[in-house]
């Protein structure tokens, strides 16, 4: 190897010479420590951000059953409203309700005849309407 002092692995002290050479000619101890600390901090930040984003996604609609029932009724009224923006907000509300990890109200949504209404919107020519409805139907 070029630049390294010659040593033979089987000889006494040969490995020690190489180790000392690498330690003194490599990255300094302070710089190495600083890089390790930066790497550790960045890994911790990334893990914390992932944990928080998972928590935000799953706990958006983990309120008590009365609030969920009220939200369900609002979404149900909104999907049958004539206003386009209200309908889209209702579909987003259903998506949030169905995204809950524990016991999503899939059966209640199907029982409330929301699926035929979603199919009606899918048959429309407006592509901006179709995307949120397809996503909701995918969840169902």
Domain ranges of the chain: 14-59, 65-139
Number of separate helices (H) and strands (E) present in the chain: 7, 0
What is the per-residue pLDDT for 106? 80
Instruction: Compute the average pLDDT of residues 123-128.
Output: 74
Using CA atoms, how far apart are residues 62 and 130, in angstroms rounded to an integer?
A: 27
Note if the pTM is more than 0.75.
no
- Return the ∠ at Cα 49 (arms to 62 and 96), rounded to 5°: 30
**The dihedral sign for the CA sequence 132, 129, 134, 117:** positive
Q: Both ends of the chain: CA-CA distance in Å? A: 64
Which residue did the predictor score with more confidence, 104 or 2? 104
- Strands (E) across the chain are located at none
Q: In the structure, what pLDDT confidence band is assigned to residue 43 with cuts at 50, 70 and 90? A: very high
Q: What is the mean pLDDT of the chain?
A: 75
pLDDT digits over 55-109, tens only? 766 555 454 667 777 888 888 888 888 788 888 888 888 888 877 767 777 888 8
Instruction: Compute the average pLDDT of residues 12-25.
Output: 63
What is the per-residue pLDDT for 44? 93
Percent of residues, the chain, with pLDDT higher than 70: 69
């Amino acid at each position: 190897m070029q630049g390294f002092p010659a040593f033979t692995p089987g000889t006494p002290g040969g490995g020690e010479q190489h180790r000392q050479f690498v330690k003194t000619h490599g990255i300094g101890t302070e710089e190495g420590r600083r890089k390790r600390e930066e790497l550790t901090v960045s890994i911790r930040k990334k893990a914390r951000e992932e944990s928080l984003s998972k928590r935000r996604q799953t706990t958006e609609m983990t309120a008590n059953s009365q609030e969920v029932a009220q939200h369900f009724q609002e979404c149900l009224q909104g999907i049958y409203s004539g206003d386009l923006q209200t309908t889209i907000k209702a579909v987003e509300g259903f998506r949030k309700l169905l995204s809950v990890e524990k016991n999503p109200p899939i059966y209640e949504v199907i029982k409330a005849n929301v699926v035929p209404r979603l199919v009606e919107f899918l048959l429309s020519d407006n592509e901006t309407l179709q995307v949120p409805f397809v996503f909701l139907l995918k969840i169902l």
